[in-house]
């Protein structure tokens, strides 16, 4: 099988061919590494490519398969990893000067799961520095380009992960989602992204941005692949105090079931000012398709949506201020060369080691937590969080899921919004409530705009309803061909 064909296969298709020995793991890894060499100069998805380690792992998988060992469905499947997920013995930079030379001394829980499944890691993927951004333009090292249109952003902060899957540079990828960082790049690049229920996937080994919001999830070519990866990475981990101990879910258990009679909520607030005609038309296409499949569309109201964005930026910035305090030039990370005393060492190391967006959010978070302002800002944001959770609970009492846009627009031009951070923040309006409430959300393509750019929709469910979201997403995907 030629290289191009291998990189076009879904995870499920590749897994079948590997198990049937129609393709070897070495051939699969080689095909993806060749694609990376060809496409990286224009796409820029990877920060490091681990060719030697990938080929060695692939050879081990082939050897074990030839001996007749029973292997996981993901054995030999090539994967790219967002560079804020710790990988033992390899650099984990968070796309920051602060961690430019940091080699992780341990593996994240999700990496242990993938290694246990014998997946082949191709390398570490570009991102917005410390996952702060919506365009992957905030990386210290490079700007990633959208494979669908190289003049446009891939979204962020998991832009490298989405771009790698869309460009055929990884069979699937892992990203992290704090306020839409898996779902928005998935929408911009035309791939499938899952932000799981908070606590479903362990955060152990994920470099923290905002601990009460962060979640690791997969980016894949289609819905079935996403469920397949979730079956591998989800599960309880005692090292993560927020990990939820529960009966193991089968994420693909509802795929293929009929969706007739299911109720899909459509909050009217999601279609107000700021949404582009391309996105509005794409969601309208999705509504008509779901109706044709027998689902019932229920118009609802979500009045707290207007308060979600300011609450998110206060909570996330406050937690970032606390989490990033450890990077001080003393213990590990970047250390300034010029300083006269320890105060200047702290100041210079942090000023030189962090980029503009990270410093902006640290300052905002420190202000929100400071004496005299905690009650006025942070405490109020937590109260808004409770109202948002209540809104979701009320809707889920009568509906199976919520349908909404992922972003107000399709992918915008590189450099178009860098001068106006507030405008970029407003692009997160549809995604941040999901993280605030801790519920799952599936982002997937629903249409193509006249200029050829993908339009994304998200299906939002109550906690632990990922199998239901996959059921709905797969029904839509199959109906759309």
Residues with active-site annotation? 82, 157, 181
In what order do the strands lie in the sheet containing 296-300? 46-49, 120-125, 78-82, 172-177, 215-220, 192-195, 441-448, 454-460, 401-405, 263-267, 296-300
Q: How far apart are CA 285 and CA 263, in angstroms?
A: 17
CA distances, 265 to each of 150, 195, 349 (Å)? 35, 19, 49
Please enumerate in sequence order all residues whose Cβ is within 8 A of that of 225, keeping only pairs 6 or more positions apart, or say none: 10, 11, 12, 172, 192, 218
Burial label for 69, CB within 10 Å (0-12, 13-18, 19+), is: exposed
CA distances, 293 to each of 42, 262, 286, 472 (Å)? 40, 10, 11, 10
- Apex CA 25: angle with CA 445 and CA 91, to 5°? 75
CB 310 within 8 A of CB 122: no
- Number of Cβ within a 10 Å radius of residue 260: 10
Beta-strand relationship, 46-49 and 215-220: unpaired
């Amino acid at each position: 099988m030629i290289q191009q064909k291998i990189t076009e296969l879904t995870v499920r298709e590749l897994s079948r061919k590997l198990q049937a020995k129609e393709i070897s793991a070495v051939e699969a890894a080689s095909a993806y590494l060749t694609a990376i060499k060809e496409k990286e100069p224009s796409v820029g998805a990877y920060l490091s490519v681990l060719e030697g380690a990938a080929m060695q792992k692939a050879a081990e998988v082939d050897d074990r398969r030839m001996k007749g060992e029973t292997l996981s469905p993901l054995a030999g499947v090539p994967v790219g990893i967002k560079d804020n997920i710790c990988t033992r013995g390899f650099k984990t930079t968070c796309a920051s000067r602060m961690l430019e030379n940091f080699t992780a001394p341990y593996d994240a829980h999700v990496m242990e799961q993938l290694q246990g499944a014998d997946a082949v890691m191709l390398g570490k993927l570009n991102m917005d520095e410390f996952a702060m951004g919506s365009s992957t333009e905030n990386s210290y090292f490079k700007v990633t380009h959208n494979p669908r249109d190289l003049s446009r952003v891939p979204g962020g902060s998991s832009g490298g992960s989405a771009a790698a899957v869309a460009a055929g540079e990884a069979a699937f990828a892992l990203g992290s989602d704090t306020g839409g960082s898996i779902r928005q790049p998935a929408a911009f690049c035309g791939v499938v992204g899952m932000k799981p229920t908070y606590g479903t996937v362990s955060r152990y080994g994920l470099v923290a941005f905002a601990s009460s919001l962060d979640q690791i999830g997969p980016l894949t070519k289609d819905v079935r692949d996403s469920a397949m990866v979730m079956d591998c990475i989800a599960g309880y981990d005692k090292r993560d105090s927020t990990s939820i101990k529960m009966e193991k879910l089968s994420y693909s258990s509802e795929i293929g079931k009929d969706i007739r009679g299911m109720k899909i909520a459509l909050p009217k607030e999601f279609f107000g000012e700021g949404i582009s005609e391309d996105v509005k038309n794409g969601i309208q296409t999705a509504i008509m398709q779901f109706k044709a499949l027998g689902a019932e569309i229920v118009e609802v109201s979500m009045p707290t949506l207007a308060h979600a964005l300011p609450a998110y930026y206060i909570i996330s910035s406050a937690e970032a201020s606390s989490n990033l305090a450890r990077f001080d030039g003393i213990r590990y990370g970047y250390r300034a060369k010029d300083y006269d005393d320890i105060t200047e060492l702290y100041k210079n190391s942090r000023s030189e080691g962090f980029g503009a967006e990270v410093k902006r959010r640290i300052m905002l978070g420190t202000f929100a937590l400071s004496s005299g302002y905690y009650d006025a800002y942070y405490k109020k944001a937590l109260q808004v969080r409770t109202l948002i959770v209540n809104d979701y609970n009320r809707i889920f009492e009568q509906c199976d899921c919520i349908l909404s846009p992922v972003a107000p627009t399709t992918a915008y031009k590189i450099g178009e919004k860098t001068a106006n951070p507030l405008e970029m923040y407003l692009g997160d309006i549809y995604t941040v409530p999901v993280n605030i409430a801790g519920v799952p959300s599936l982002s997937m393509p629903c249409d193509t705009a006249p200029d050829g750019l993908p339009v994304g929709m998200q299906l939002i469910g109550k906690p632990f309803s990922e199998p239901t979201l996959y059921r709905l997403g797969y029904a839509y995907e199959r109906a759309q061909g």
